[in-house]
Structure 1
Amino acid sequence: MGRVTERRRTIRVRDGAVSVRPDTLVSEEPMEIRLNGRPLAITMRTPGDDFALAAGFLVSEGVLGAAEDIRSIVYCAGAEPNPSLEAPGGGANTYNVVDVQLAPGVPVPDITLERNVYTTSSCGLCGKASLDAVRTATRFPIGGASSLAPPLRVEPALLARLPGRLREAQRVFDRTGGLHAAALFSEDGDMLDIREDVGRHNAVDKLVGRALREGMLPLSRMILLVSGRASFELAQKAVMAGIPVLAAVSAPSSLAVDLALETGLTLVGFLRGPDMNVYAGEERIALPSWV
């Protein structure tokens, strides 16, 4: 199985002085996700938590909604022949191919070429059709009052503390400087889980997949914080997991804001200390009156 980090030779130039030394880099390898034995998607990721990554991806695709929807998740053989690593299927087990078998009775989506292309490229869907699709496909709507619990309200001061806690917990980033991070926080500001990956969407999928397998979905009173920007794809993954608040230390995209407004997601960007921009769902943020 691939390592999280690798060492590579590098030439360092510092204040005019030149030296040769090894540098620690984050590992990046492709992972193919198969569904009931059929190829569905390929993503570039940092090895580790691969089963959670596959499960979280399938939550965002609307295939999974509970741990009971999964019969098994296994590594399986790739296409490379290697007698010393022989695995079922005739190829080498590179630990870069994961097959998710659905439980009996769970609907299998139509895996078309079009679907495979857009998931492989990690570009997501675009435009009004995708907004409609996410709003109607999620099993865990966040815009309505479907719970007897009091409405979620988050103090700005609590949000302000989260980026620092996220940064302190980024252990692999400290060694490589090359990873995105995503973390789940409770409404009281407790960090429940953090994942790092070369792809910010993979980090979120790993969080959601671990939550699915532990029977925690929907994440209806959680805050999702990401270390970079908030793209449409990340907003989509939050909505599909029932997460009501998505915060990012950088900017959201216009389509992410559109999706947040369509689905009732609270979207916060440029979260840096006490400063932040609230783009949608301001009713969940205990803001002082600006009138």
Structure 2
Amino acid sequence: MSDERSASPTDVRRPGASRPARQVAKVGVTAVGPAGGDARDDWVAVEDPLEIRAAGPGQAATSVAVTMRTPGSDFELAVGFLRTEGLIGPEDEVLPPPDLPAKGCNVVNVELSRPFDGSTLKRNFFATSSCGLCGKAALDQIEVRCGPVAAGPTVARATILGLPDALREAQRAFDRTGGLHAAGLFDAEGRLLAAREDVGRHNAVDKLVGRAFLDGELPLSGRILLVSGRTSFEILQKAAVAGLPIVCAVSAPSSLAVSVADRLGITLVGFLRGDRFNVYTHPGRIDAGDR
């Protein structure tokens, strides 16, 4: 089977980007229907562990996290994770890595231009794991990492309605497996700028944020984020750190996601399907008048 990579039509290979990676795998299944069972091949999404490490000049690499992900855009994922988890800041410079191998790369080292402070790891990941235990603690920690987002654009209802179809057209691996989440970054006119797929919806967002960080485009104050599933605390946390003013999803938000969006000035859209959607917070950015 040939290796594949998912990307939007506007996404081109850049220095430090991952080489094409295997995102789908062939497996044998028994398809059962009214006529009985039929042995055939099917395609499933690849899920592999990725260890993220970080180091400054002259430092040994510190293991930051291991995440289960779909291979592809691994360096973007690592950088995006470090940024959205508050482990590196907007002032940090990430040194370009050599090309990552197409296969067998389950460790990514992120080299920084200044020392990496690994002592913050316990504090940050305690805060992340506490989300299900104490919403206030999670919200307070978000405000330590970032402030409210900028005003951002006002977007027409028709533009919002067109986002899912545009993202769906870029979901190449999903077409074969039906088993991947997607995240898309759009401009205020609804043009798809970049798309990423992954078994983890938060990983897909980190890949987009990592690419934007490497390109010097943060904060994304004029952009729209669309995710293919529901919106959780993690998604809104990452959007807030990236400065995204509008976050849309085809499914429902969680209560804590709504709280984060309300507190940090993000317009949160859910149940974006067909010709309808719900606006949970800060509806002023959506011009609902074009019916």
> If the length of structure 1 is used for normalisation, what is the TM-score?
0.83
Q: Does 1:167 align with 2:179?
A: no
The answer to whether the Cα contact below 8 Å between 2:70 and 2:198 also exists between their aligned partners in 1 is yes
Instruction: Classify 1:45/1:185 alpha carbon distance in 2 versus 1 (closer, same or farther; 3 Å).
Output: same
Deviation at 1:113, TM superposition (A): 4.5
How many angstroms apart in 2 are the aligned matches of 1:206 and 1:75?
Answer: 16
- 1:47 equivalent among 61, 64, 71: 71
1:101 matched to 2:111: yes
Whole-angstrom CA distance in 1 between matches of 2:208 and 2:43: 25
Contact 2:62 2:118 in 1 (8 A): no
Instruction: Give 1:94 deviation, angstroms.
Output: 3.7
Q: Deviations over 1:230-262 (max 9, x none)?
A: 101000100000110000000000000000111
Number of aligned residue pairs = 264
- Residue 237 to residue 110, structure 1, CA distance change in 2 (3 Å): same
How far 1:64 moved relative to its partner? 3.2
Give the equivalent residue in structure 2 for 1:148.
none
Name the TM-score, length of structure 2 as normaliser: 0.83
Instruction: Quote how far apart the aligned CAs of 1:215 are.
Output: 1.4
**Is the CA contact (8 Å cut-off) linking 1:247 and 1:269 kept in structure 2?**
yes
Contact 1:235-1:260 within 8 A present in 2 as well: yes
Answer yes or no: is the 8 Å Cα contact 1:45–1:197 preserved in 2: yes
Aligned pair partner of 2:143 in 135, 157, 180: 135
Cα offsets for 1:39-98 (capped at 9, x unmatched) = 11111100010000001111101233448521354799xxxxxxxxxxxxxxxx941111
C-alpha distance in structure 2 between counterparts of 1:14 and 1:122, whole Å: 44
- Check conservation: 1:182, 1:227, Cα contact below 8 A: yes
Distance 2:203 2:287 in 1: 31
Residue 131 of structure 1 aligns to which amino acid in structure 2? L
Unaligned runs of 5+ in 1: 77-92, 146-150
Mapped partners of 1:118, 1:48: distance in 2: 28
Q: Aligned pair 1:229/2:239, yes or no? A: no
In the alignment, which of 31, 36, 42 is matched to residue 12 of structure 1? 31
Offset of residue 33 of structure 1 = 0.8
Q: For the Cα contact (< 8 Å) 2:157–2:289, is it kept in 1?
A: no
Match of 1:257 in 2: 258
Distance 1:259 1:162 in 2: 23
CA distance in 1, matches of 2:231, 2:192: 19
2:58 — aligned with what?
Answer: none
Q: CA deviation at 1:270?
A: 0.4
Name the counterpart of 1:285: 286
**5+ residue gaps in structure 2?**
1-18, 56-60
**CA 1:203–1:123 in structure 2 vs 1: closer, same or farther (change >3 Å)?**
farther
Deviation at 1:123, TM superposition (A): 7.0
Query: Matched residues in 2 for 1:98 and 1:10: separation?
Result: 33
